């Protein structure tokens, strides 16, 4: 990581909400708005500005993707970034993913846990490393990718990140609703609405609200899983099964990468307010542990529960009837009514993952549609939560089997994006943050064209198609050796990006 002493810090004054008032008489349009329309627009802007000012007095963050000035980067408490990721991954979702090792891929408990440990240790490196970019540049993660994909090219990964965010939040909300719905006297729909309301409140408020919530959200959930492990530990067995094949293990690895890699597109969103001279190694270490510790522990617990369920009749019946929700309900049945309270906590735990995801989605909208930068960030949190709730309610009583299928798709864009940004930083810009002119963040002519990034990503994914082995497609190589698509696409993207980017620099000049 770059020595902080050699960095030139560049600040760019953010465009505050209300700057869109200048559009009323824009020299680019060559015309003036009609008096009535101008008056209405002015009144709307004035009213919106007053609302934004009032909300700011309550601590609500309206700032979008505009760079954070150096003088505003004052945070030094590393534990905040640790708890953001620790809480976001201390939910029922990693537990559910862990169950897929034995149930979907036929792996034993030891094989599942070994894969969980090894691949999460590797995949966590990427989001933890990108978290170190925030303090140095003051740029949100997808906005920072404009220095790789270009101003217009970054629209593509931004759109894919938004789609991933919607998909992840819908699935986690449905899972939370199903956990609550497994209780006889509480409906899953109520759980979805509660999860949506809590996620909206936190993401609407902004980074301070997210930090505060994530500092404490993990505590009750850890208590629940400690009870689950303590009460049921005697039932966990590593039953002998046919040794897992390379194909089974690689397919499971793809699912694990689908949870971890997409966090890289959000990482620096939560470190942009850290002081520019904080230790990059400490940012990396706190982030890395925040990703790894809960994910590995809960996925292994999920694998243990799933591998042992065939030998515990009421676990088996619960899983057969209600999936992961039924399995957890059965595992908590020994503690009686207290177990029902713990189930409620588990159902609401997904808020800790949804809130930061929705917060980052509200920023991604402004990179996806650049003119939206004139609007306050929290507007898009409201839009996202409303749509998530509608779709989650529609999918409440449908099978949760789509979880593995969905995660098996989204990691491909995340993998190619991660590699393109990494090669740009490590090779093209020589790991020097001074080589990023932050003042050009919204000037297309002063940013890369993006053809190299998009071209290498498309080539990397396209040529990796024969190595894919998923429910939605199985290539000839993937059918024989298992899914190697993510690794091959990342490798090919890296190999194509360097020469294409050099060619782009030669033609464009930068």
Predicted confidence (pLDDT) per residue in 324-368, tens digit? 989 999 999 999 989 989 998 998 999 999 999 999 999 999 999
**What is the spatial distance between Cα 235 and Cα 243, in angstroms, rounded to a whole number?**
22
Per-residue pLDDT at 57: 75
Per-residue pLDDT at 87: 98
pLDDT of 89 > 50? The answer is yes
Instruction: Give residue-wise pLDDT tens across range 291-305.
Output: 999 999 999 999 999
Spatial CB neighbours of 317, under 8 Å, sequence gap ≥ 6: 326, 330
Domains in the chain, ordered, with CATH? Answer: 68-399 (1.10.4160.10)
Instruction: Give residue-wise pLDDT tens across range 161-200.
Output: 999 999 899 988 988 887 877 775 666 788 888 899 999 9
Instruction: Give residue-wise pLDDT tens across range 466-497.
Output: 999 887 789 999 998 889 999 999 999 999 99
Which residues sit opposite 274 in a β-bridge?
Answer: 75
Per-residue pLDDT at 363: 97
Per-residue pLDDT at 185: 62
As a whole number, the mean pLDDT across the chain is: 88
Q: Give the mean pLDDT of 240-262.
A: 89
pLDDT of 209 > 70? The answer is yes
Instruction: Give residue-wise pLDDT tens across range 56-76.
Output: 777 888 899 999 999 999 999
pLDDT of 102 > 50? The answer is yes
DSSP SS3 for 469 = strand
CB-based burial of residue 152 (10 Å sphere; 0-12 exposed, 13-18 middle, 19+ buried)? middle
Q: pTM for the complete prediction?
A: 0.88
Spatial CB neighbours of 423, under 8 Å, sequence gap ≥ 6: 494, 497, 498, 501
């Amino acid at each position: 990581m770059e020595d902080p002493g050699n960095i030139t810090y560049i600040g760019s004054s953010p465009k505050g909400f209300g700057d869109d008032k200048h559009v009323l008489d824009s020299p680019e349009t060559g015309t003036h708005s009609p008096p009535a329309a101008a008056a209405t627009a002015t009144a709307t802007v004035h009213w919106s500005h007053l609302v934004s000012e009032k909300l700011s007095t309550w601590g609500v963050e309206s700032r979008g993707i505009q760079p954070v000035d150096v003088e505003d980067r004052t945070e030094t408490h590393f534990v905040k970034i640790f708890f953001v990721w620790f809480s976001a991954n201390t939910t029922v979702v990693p537990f559910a993913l862990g169950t897929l090792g034995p149930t979907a891929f036929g792996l034993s408990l030891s094989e599942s846990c070994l894969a969980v440990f090894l691949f999460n240790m590797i995949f966590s490196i990427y989001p933890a490393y990108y978290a170190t970019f925030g303090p140095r540049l003051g740029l949100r993660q997808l906005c920072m990718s404009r220095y790789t994909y270009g101003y217009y090219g970054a629209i593509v990964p931004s759109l894919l990140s938004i789609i991933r965010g919607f998909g992840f939040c819908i699935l986690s909300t449905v899972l939370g609703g199903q956990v609550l719905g497994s209780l006889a006297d509480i409906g899953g729909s109520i759980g979805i609405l509660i999860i949506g309301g809590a996620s909206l409140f936190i993401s609407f408020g902004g980074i301070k609200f997210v930090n505060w919530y994530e500092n404490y959200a993990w505590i009750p959930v850890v208590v629940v899983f400690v009870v689950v492990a303590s009460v049921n530990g005697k039932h966990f067995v590593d039953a002998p099964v046919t040794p897992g094949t390379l194909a089974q293990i690689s397919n499971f690895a793809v699912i694990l990468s689908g949870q971890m890699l997409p966090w890289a597109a959000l990482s620096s969103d939560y470190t942009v307010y850290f002081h520019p001279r904080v230790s990059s190694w400490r940012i990396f270490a706190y982030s890395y542990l925040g990703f790894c510790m809960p994910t590995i522990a809960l996925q292994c617990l999920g694998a243990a529960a799933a591998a042992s369920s065939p030998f515990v009749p009421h676990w088996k019946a619960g899983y057969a009837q209600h999936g992961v929700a039924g399995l957890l309900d059965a595992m908590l049945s020994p503690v009686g009514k207290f177990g029902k309270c713990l189930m409620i906590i588990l159902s609401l735990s997904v808020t800790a993952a949804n809130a930061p995801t929705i917060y980052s989605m509200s920023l991604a909208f402004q990179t996806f549609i650049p003119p939206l930068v004139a609007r306050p960030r929290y507007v898009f949190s409201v839009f996202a939560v409303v749509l998530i709730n509608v779709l989650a309610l529609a999918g409440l009583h449908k099978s949760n089997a789509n979880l593995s299928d969905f995660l098996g798709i989204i990691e491909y864009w995340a993998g190619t994006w991660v590699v393109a940004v990494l090669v740009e930083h490590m090779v093209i810009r020589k790991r020097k943050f001074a080589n990023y002119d932050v003042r050009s963040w919204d000037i297309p002519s002063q940013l890369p064209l993006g053809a190299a990034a998009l071209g290498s990503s498309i080539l990397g994914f396209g040529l990796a198609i024969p190595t894919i082995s998923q429910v939605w497609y199985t290539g000839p190589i993937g059918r024989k050796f298992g899914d190697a698509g993510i690794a091959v696409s990342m490798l090919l993207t890296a190999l194509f990006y360097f020469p294409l980017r050099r060619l782009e620099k030669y033609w464009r000049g930068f």
